[in-house]
Amino acid sequence: MNFFKRLFSRKPEDLTLKQIELEDWLEENSEDLLKEINHNIKKKFSEIEKTKTELMSKLSKLGKAELLNPDIPEREKHIMHGNRLNYIQKTESFLETIKLPELDYDVINDFCIGFGAQLKEFNQHTSKGYFVLTNFFDKEMKEIAFLIKNLETNIISIINILKDKRIKQFKLLSKKIRELNELNLNKEKLSKDLLRLEDELENAETRKARLQEKVQSLKDSKDFNDFYKFEKQRLDIEKEINELRFKFNNSIKAIDKVLRKYMHSSLKKDFISHYLEQPLHALEKDNKFEILDILNRLKQEMNKGHIEIKEKQKHKILRQIQKITKDYLVKIKTRFEELKNEKKKVNDKMERLNIIMDYKELQYQAEHIHNKILKLTEQITEKKDQIFNLNIIQKTKQLEKALSDFSGYNIRIK
C-alpha cells in the first residue's frame, strides 16, 4: 500500500473504520511505511546472532589455546588457567542473557537498555581477568574484545533506528488507540450502570406514585378524619394540662426558697421535695392535702423568725402562702384529674382506629422511597458526569486527524 502516493494526492480518499478494528488496521497499514525500519532492525538482530555464534567459537578456541612460551613458572600457569576458566564462564553467561525480543518497538527498546546494564556489569566482573589473559593470549583476547564491541555497536545502531520519527508516530498512535479503547470500555460499563440506575429510579417513582394514591385514599376516609378530630381534642387537653401545671408550678416556685429551708428541719423531707420538684404530680398523690399543714407550720416558723429571710420578702411570701387554700388545691387537683380522664378516653378512641397505623406505615415507606429517589438521582447525575468527562467525542476526532495525517486517508471512526 503506497502511503506516500496518498500523502501527496490532492484529495485524500475517505475511509471509515470501526473503533474495534483500529489496532489491527494500524498494524496492517503500517507495514509498508515501517518496512525499511523493520528490515534494518532484523538485519541488526541477525548480526547480533552471528556475533554471538562467533564469540562462542572464539571462547572455545581460547579454552584450547596453547601458551607460546610453555616454560613459564607453574604459579603463572596456575593464574592463567584460573582466569581463563573464569573469563570463559562469565562471557558465556553474558551471551546467554542476550535473548533477542519479538518485533515490538517498546520491547526492543527495553532490551537495548537492559543490554547496556548487562554489558557494564560484565565489564566490571571480567576486566581484571581480561587484562591477565592478554599477557598469555593477546591475539585471542583482542578478537573476543572486537566481537563484544561489535555487539555493543549493533545495539547502539538499533537504538538509533528506534529514534526514527515514523516509529514515534506509530507508537503514539498505538497508544492513543489503546487509550480510546479503554475509554470506550469504561463508557460501556458506566452506561450499563446508568441504565440500571435509571431503571431503579423509574421503579422507585412508580412505587412512590402508588404510595401517594394510598395515602390520599386514607386521608379521604371517615376514620382518618375522625382520628385528626380526636388528635385536635387531645392537643387541646394537653395544652390545658400544661397551663394548669404552669400555674401551680408558679404557686410553689414563689415559696420555693423558704420551703427548702424549712424542709431541712422537717420530718417530711421526701414529701416536701416531691412538691418542690414535681408540684402537680405531688398534688395528685396528696389525697389528704397534707401540704396545707406543712404550709401552716412554715408560716409559724417564719413569724417566729426561725427562718432567716428579709422582712420585705417575708410579707410577700406569706401573702403567697395565704393564696394556697384548700379550695384552690381542690380546684387544681379536680380539674387535673378530669383532664387526664378526658385524655384517656380520647386516646382509647384513637387506638381503636387502626387506620393510623396504616397511615404511619405508608408515611414511613414514602419517606424511605423519597430518600432512595434522591440518592438514585444523585448517582445518575454522577454517572452522566463521569461519561461526559471521558471526553470520547473530542479524543476520537483528535485520533481521526492523527491517523489521517499519518496514513494519507481521510479517516472517520465509528
**Cα(77)–Cα(57) distance, integer angstroms:** 23
Tell me the C-alpha to C-alpha distance, in Å, between residue 282 and each of 262, 318, 332, 344: 18, 21, 12, 20
- Is there a single domain that holds both residue 159 and residue 31? yes
Let me know if residue 189 belongs to a domain. no
**Cα(54)–Cα(52) distance, integer angstroms:** 5
CB 195 within 8 Å of CB 189: no
- Is there a single domain that holds both residue 226 and residue 351? yes
Q: Indicate the length of the chain as a whole number.
A: 414
- Is there a single domain that holds both residue 148 and residue 247? no
- Is there a single domain that holds both residue 62 and residue 148? yes
Kindly tell me if the per-residue pLDDT of 349 is higher than 80.
yes
**Cα(133)–Cα(136) distance, integer angstroms:** 5
Let me know if residue 76 belongs to a domain. yes
The answer for residues whose C-beta is within 8 angstroms of residue 150's C-beta and 6 or more apart is: 47, 51
Let me know if residue 158 belongs to a domain. yes
Domain end marker among 163, 190, 205: 163
Please state whether 11 falls in left (phi above 0), alpha (psi between -120 and 50) or beta. Answer: beta
Higher-pLDDT residue of 205 and 225 is 205
**Cα(251)–Cα(239) distance, integer angstroms:** 19
DSSP 3-state of 359? helix
- Is there a single domain that holds both residue 149 and residue 266? no
**Cα(53)–Cα(26) distance, integer angstroms:** 36
Q: Kindly indicate the confidence band of residue 35, based on its pLDDT and cuts at 50, 70 and 90.
A: confident
Domain end marker among 122, 143, 163: 163
- Give the per-residue pLDDT at 110: 93
Which one of 219-233, 243-257, 344-358 scores highest in mean pLDDT?
243-257
- For 131, the domain range is 21-163
Q: Kindly indicate the confidence band of residue 11, based on its pLDDT and cuts at 50, 70 and 90.
A: low
The answer for residues whose C-beta is within 8 angstroms of residue 386's C-beta and 6 or more apart is: 190
Number of H helices and E strands in the chain, helices first, is 16, 2
Let me know if residue 300 belongs to a domain. yes
- Give the per-residue pLDDT at 1: 43
**Cα(395)–Cα(151) distance, integer angstroms:** 43
Half-sphere exposure of residue 209, counting CA atoms within 13 Å on the CB side?
6
- Is there a single domain that holds both residue 147 and residue 63? yes
User: How many structural domains is the chain composed of?
Assistant: 2
- Is there a single domain that holds both residue 346 and residue 275? yes
Kindly tell me if the per-residue pLDDT of 7 is higher than 60.
no
- Is there a single domain that holds both residue 156 and residue 291? no
Let me know if residue 206 belongs to a domain. no
Let me know if residue 387 belongs to a domain. no
Half-sphere exposure of residue 37, counting CA atoms within 13 Å on the CB side?
20
pLDDT digits (tens, 9 = 90+) for 279-330: 999 999 999 999 999 999 999 999 888 888 888 888 899 999 999 999 999 9
- Is there a single domain that holds both residue 228 and residue 364? yes
Let me know if residue 328 belongs to a domain. yes
**Cα(162)–Cα(104) distance, integer angstroms:** 11
Let me know if residue 58 belongs to a domain. yes
Angle at 166 between CA 160 and CA 171, to 5 degrees: 95
**Cα(346)–Cα(302) distance, integer angstroms:** 46
- Is there a single domain that holds both residue 226 and residue 152? no
Kindly tell me if the per-residue pLDDT of 31 is higher than 70.
yes
- Give the per-residue pLDDT at 4: 43
